[in-house]
A and B are shown apart, each in its own frame.
Chain A
Amino acid sequence: MSARDTVLASVRRSLGVTGREAPRRSAADDRLSRHPRGIIPKRGKLPEKQRIKLFCNQVEDAHGTIEQLASPEQVPAAVAAYLRSKNLPMSVRRGSDPRLEAIPWQSEPTLEVLLGRSDGNELASVSHALGAVAESGTLVLASGPDNPTTLNFLPDHHIVVVDADDIAGDYETVWDAVRDRFAGKLPRMINWITGPSRSADIEQTHLLGAHGPRSVHVLVIGKP
């Protein structure tokens, strides 16, 4: 018997089932296809204005920083100002996500904008989030040809652009958006990011910037 068959047979023996019982099968299939929602905290169901406010507060609680911009045109100036405030060189790396492509980067002539995955040598990156979750201040990023995962983890500073319209109250709303967008399957990587990298492994002291970015800066577009 293969290891697979041994494990499954042992599970079934313990449960006292054969695996062919119709009611069990339909109970499992049903849950997988209907994926019912569980309990959603009240704070995940706020109206738009309060929702965005909660998101901003939660990002800051998680040691991130946040800024609201009226339109994507303001992104290059905001990125440049952020780099200046951190004393960083005027250079970022980004993916070729269409929403980032549409930004008029040339409006900030001193800002160098590199494309593609990170090899660990750049200090700052810009990504576009697929969505965000207000209840915990979490950004949701999806990998793909235009969205390298390495940009989320290797640079020291991570700037993330998100549309105010894509800020949901709860995780479940974002999952539905992901299902719609990727036809029921997940992209290779979905990253939930809640503030910068940190560690408390030395005497339980809270320190930012463990292996990933030391800072996460969020730019919310629209509805300031």
Chain B
Amino acid sequence: MSVQLTSPQFKGNARRALADPQLQKALGNVGQNFVEKRRQVAAKLPEFDALCDAARDLKDHTLAHLDLYLEAYERRVTEQGGKVHWAVTSAEACHVVLDICKRVGAKNVTKGKSMISEEIGLNDFLAANGISPVETDLGEYIIQLRHEPPSHIIAPAVHLNKEQIEADFRRAHQSLPPGRNLEAPTALLAEARSVLREKFLAADVGITGANFLIAETGSSVIVTNEGNGDLTQTLPKVHIVLASIEKIVPTLEDVSTLLRLLARSATGQEMTAYTSFSTGPRRSGDPDGPGEYHVVILDNGRSAMLGGQFREMLRCIRCGACMNHCPVYHAVGGHAYGWVYPGPMGAVLTPALVGIDKAGHLPNASTFCGRCEEICPVRIPLPKLMRHWREREFERHLAPAAARWGLGIWAYFVRRPRLYRLVTRIAMRTLSLLGSRRGRLKWLPLARGWTRHRDFPAPEGHTFQSRWKRRARYMP
């Protein structure tokens, strides 16, 4: 795995992100655009909630029969002249792609946006082997120029401002006149369009991801707004699709149900500009299209997830709504999460794929406000799954010593109710006396992490239990 993992340093990442004014300005765009547009477009479709239930059920059905649908899918791809390659690990998937590129003598490789490619670290791997793929999604292209990972699963460059992108283009496109005006976003887009047009036309191999793989027809589906994925899969002589096992959907009807939810949840559109269904290589008589069609199906830990508490996470259709609605993501952005999948979905998925020992901070970086679960189009109970990770962390003694120690003391007292009542009564009285003047405490033993940033409201002097008792006495 060549993608640098910085999830273990989440706390430091988050602190830096909060102190970065550029990033904070850029993150302001997430809440305003995505959230409001999604709300409007979902409100316009009375069947939206029913579709979410249907999507959950159809995903559950598919996962319960995943082996059979994978086999059916493979048969269909093969019948149409395509080839399916299986990969247990990231490294295997990278080698499959490299071997194909080498065999056809690829010099120029273009790529459509693919999170699986980020997950397996494909770009760095190919570069180390003498092949420099070019990202063609505008956001991915920008972050490739900056050697950064994406900070959002559908808007990879959402952490950047126009001025930063302009500086990157000036640095990368040295052959263009230095005095050109790149102030307007349209000028930046036009420049990227013309630079990348050359790359599209020169490519020998095009690599895309897949939003869905359809078992009924052996098709791969990509959903884009730019059209870059389509040029990537249409122009070169070889098309390679990268997808993970849970991308399988049984039928064209099933994929239609999911497509009614995907764009609405992701960008607040009724439908993206392009939804393309590729089935095998160029047919006889076809004037265009790739001569070879390959699909690399990656497991990378997912088949193991199927068996346990985290199976529901495999329903995810990568719409990004959970991060768009997450207060923690809004505050720290995607890079702080330290791997390719940020936000609530990343907080559940990353520990499953890289290990809870390395990504333990992520399921803890949540306020449990529950908005992610509310808006998830396939109804993944993200907070519950994060809680499962916290439990596992605790069981495996990975939780910080102070937390374990604190919980240990608490457990001692709650198992002794009389002692518990006595101790809490004394504590409440003391705290009330200490804070009586201002009604707030500036400092609290064992809770400095809290009081460093805000005051703690002082208790009024009675415990909940004693008040409850008194209340009960007045009841008829």
Report if A and B associate in a common complex.
yes
List chain A positions with a Cβ less than 8 A from chain B.
2-4, 6-8, 10-17, 19, 24-25, 27-28, 31-32, 35-39, 41-43, 58, 61-62, 95, 116-117, 119-120, 135-138, 143-145, 148-150, 152-154, 170-172, 175, 178, 185-205, 207, 209-213
A25 and B68 form a contact (CB under 8 A): yes
B26 at the interface (CB under 8 A from A): yes
B231 and A39 form a contact (CB under 8 A): no
B303 and A194 form a contact (CB under 8 A): no
Name the B residues within 8 Å of A171 (CB-CB): 256, 259
Complex Cα spacing A126 to B88, Å: 45
B162 and A203 form a contact (CB under 8 A): yes
Complex Cα spacing A13 to B46, Å: 40
B250 and A116 form a contact (CB under 8 A): no
Most buried by A among B51, B200, B275: B275
B297 and A211 form a contact (CB under 8 A): no
B87 and A210 form a contact (CB under 8 A): no
B165 and A148 form a contact (CB under 8 A): no
For the complex formed, measure the closest distance between the CB of B89 and the CB atoms of chain A, giving whole angstroms. 9
A and B contact pairs by CB, cutoff 8 A, 10 listed: A7-B297, A7-B303, A11-B306, A119-B201, A153-B230, A153-B234, A188-B283, A189-B279, A190-B277, A211-B231
Q: A3-B86, A198-B226 are in contact. Are A149 and B69 (CB under 8 A)?
A: no
Q: Which of B68, B185, B226 contacts A211 (CB 8 A)?
A: B226
Complex Cα spacing A208 to B70, Å: 38
Q: A14-B307, A143-B288, A170-B256 are in contact. List 16 more A-B contacts (CB 8 A).
A: A7-B245, A11-B303, A35-B251, A58-B270, A148-B286, A153-B227, A171-B259, A175-B252, A186-B277, A191-B276, A199-B189, A201-B138, A201-B156, A211-B193, A211-B226, A211-B228
Most buried by B among A4, A145, A172, A199: A199
B186 at the interface (CB under 8 A from A): yes
List chain B positions with a Cβ less than 8 A from chain A.
26, 29-30, 32-34, 45-47, 50-51, 54, 58, 61, 64-72, 80, 85-88, 92, 136-139, 142, 155-158, 160-162, 165, 185-186, 188-189, 193, 196-197, 200-201, 215-217, 219, 225-228, 230-231, 234-235, 245, 250-254, 256-257, 259-260, 267, 269-283, 285-289, 297, 299, 303-308
B65 and A212 form a contact (CB under 8 A): no
Name the B residues within 8 Å of A175 (CB-CB): 252-253, 256
Complex Cα spacing A3 to B306, Å: 18
Name the B residues within 8 Å of A191 (CB-CB): 230, 274-277
A62 and B273 form a contact (CB under 8 A): yes
Complex Cα spacing A43 to B271, Å: 15
* CB closest chain-B residue, reference A191: B276
Name the A residues within 8 Å of B71 (CB-CB): 8
A210 and B219 form a contact (CB under 8 A): no
B256 and A172 form a contact (CB under 8 A): yes
* CB closest chain-A residue, reference B303: A10
Complex Cα spacing A42 to B72, Å: 33
A32 and B274 form a contact (CB under 8 A): no
Q: Which of A4, A119, A211 contacts B227 (CB 8 A)?
A: A211
Shortest 6 CB-CB distances between A and B: which pairs? A212-B227, A14-B307, A210-B226, A145-B285, A201-B139, A10-B303
* CB closest chain-A residue, reference B45: A41
Name the A residues within 8 Å of B299 (CB-CB): 6-7, 10
* CB closest chain-A residue, reference B53: A39
Name the A residues within 8 Å of B142 (CB-CB): 201
B72 and A145 form a contact (CB under 8 A): no
Name the B residues within 8 Å of A19 (CB-CB): 67-68
Complex Cα spacing A205 to B279, Å: 33
Q: Which of B231, B245, B288 contacts A11 (CB 8 A)?
A: B245
Complex Cα spacing A120 to B138, Å: 19
Complex Cα spacing A200 to B32, Å: 13
B162 and A202 form a contact (CB under 8 A): yes
Name the A residues within 8 Å of B216 (CB-CB): 32, 35
Complex Cα spacing A16 to B307, Å: 8
Complex Cα spacing A188 to B289, Å: 8
Q: A32-B251, A194-B273 are in contact. Are A204 and B155 (CB under 8 A)?
A: yes
Q: A4-B86, A188-B281 are in contact. Are A148 and B287 (CB under 8 A)?
A: yes
Complex Cα spacing A11 to B227, Å: 34
Name the B residues within 8 Å of A187 (CB-CB): 279, 283
Name the B residues within 8 Å of A28 (CB-CB): 65, 68-69, 72, 250
For the complex formed, measure the closest distance between the CB of B87 and the CB atoms of chain A, giving whole angstroms. 6
Q: A15-B307, A17-B67, A205-B185 are in contact. Are A62 and B270 (CB under 8 A)?
A: yes
A35 and B253 form a contact (CB under 8 A): yes
Q: A41-B260, A188-B282, A204-B33 are in contact. Are A31 and B61 (CB under 8 A)?
A: yes
Complex Cα spacing A186 to B251, Å: 12
A193 and B189 form a contact (CB under 8 A): no
Name the A residues within 8 Å of B161 (CB-CB): 203
For the complex formed, measure the closest distance between the CB of B229 and the CB atoms of chain A, giving whole angstroms. 9
Complex Cα spacing A154 to B197, Å: 9
Complex Cα spacing A171 to B263, Å: 15
A8 and B67 form a contact (CB under 8 A): yes
Q: A2-B86, A11-B306 are in contact. Are A210 and B189 (CB under 8 A)?
A: yes
* CB closest chain-A residue, reference B299: A7
Q: A32-B72, A207-B185 are in contact. Are A38 and B58 (CB under 8 A)?
A: yes
* CB closest chain-B residue, reference A1: B88
For the complex formed, measure the closest distance between the CB of A147 and the CB atoms of chain B, giving whole angstroms. 9
For the complex formed, measure the closest distance between the CB of B458 and the CB atoms of chain A, giving whole angstroms. 43
Complex Cα spacing A31 to B402, Å: 53
Name the B residues within 8 Å of A35 (CB-CB): 216, 250-254
B257 and A200 form a contact (CB under 8 A): no
Complex Cα spacing A117 to B259, Å: 29
Complex Cα spacing A186 to B283, Å: 11
Q: A172-B253, A212-B227 are in contact. Are A10 and B276 (CB under 8 A)?
A: no
Name the B residues within 8 Å of A212 (CB-CB): 226-228, 230-231, 273-274
Complex Cα spacing A119 to B201, Å: 8
Q: A12-B67, A143-B289, A201-B142 are in contact. Are A213 and B217 (CB under 8 A)?
A: no
